[in-house]
Amino acid sequence: MQNAGFLISAKNVFYQIERPDLVSWNAIIAGFAYGGDAYEAMSFFSQMRHLGLNTDEITVRSLLCAFTSPMTLYQGLQVHSYIIKMGFSLDVPVCNTLLTMYAKCSDLCVAFNMFKEVKNTADLVSWNAILTACLQHKQAGEVFRFLKLMLISQNKPNHITLTSILGACTETASLEMGNQVHCYSVKTGARA
């Protein structure tokens, strides 16, 4: 729990800033979110809103990273509602973050819907997020289905993609597919 000391120090420094700007608010929210303290991250976000300060895409994307279990799904839903209410664009990075949040909070159905929002403009992060979500929820068949769609979309798998595919191969005991993934990684130089 070494991060706890740094976060306490960061909080103390933050409160010494006379007029924190958006970058300062985003940094403190991100620190607690990535440090696994959803309560503190949400608390700073609430303070920001209470003070009438503007937020941006970085604020909400950082905050969404704090919600990583079914117990934090409600807070994630609140932030998603806020994103819609404030008219933030549901562009690829925001949808990727929402997709990941819903998957980690065990709502794979909504994660699939978030992917549908960006399917035509999905980047490698989008594809890896949905593949990882499927693997986390033991949906190996969906991993293979999304892989086919990914390849059709001309997105090339990277090491993260290959790791998800190998996980699905392990889950289904598909030695043949595992061998194909291995051959692909050797041929392209990608490492899983």
Asked whether residue 104 is domain-assigned, the answer is no
**Cα 176 to Cα 4, 66, 130, 132, 179, distances in angstroms:** 46, 38, 23, 21, 5
3 state SS for 151-174: HHCCCCCCHHHHHHHHHHHHHHCC
Residue 16 has pLDDT above 90, yes or no: yes
Tell me how many domains the chain contains: 2
Note down the domain range covering 187: 119-192
- Claim to verify: residue 187 and residue 135 sit in the same structural domain: yes
Q: Quickly state the pLDDT bin for 79 (edges 50, 70, 90).
A: very high
Quick one: pLDDT at residue 1? 45
- Claim to verify: residue 77 and residue 9 sit in the same structural domain: yes
**Cα 73 to Cα 49, 68, 124, distances in angstroms:** 20, 8, 25
Q: What is the pLDDT of residues 89-133, one digit of tens each?
A: 778 899 999 999 999 999 999 999 999 988 888 999 999 999 999
Asked whether residue 96 is domain-assigned, the answer is no
Residue 149 has pLDDT above 80, yes or no: yes
- Claim to verify: residue 80 and residue 5 sit in the same structural domain: yes
Burial class (CB within 10 angstroms; exposed 0-12, middle 13-18, buried 19+) of 189: exposed
Quick one: pLDDT at residue 105? 95
Asked whether residue 97 is domain-assigned, the answer is no
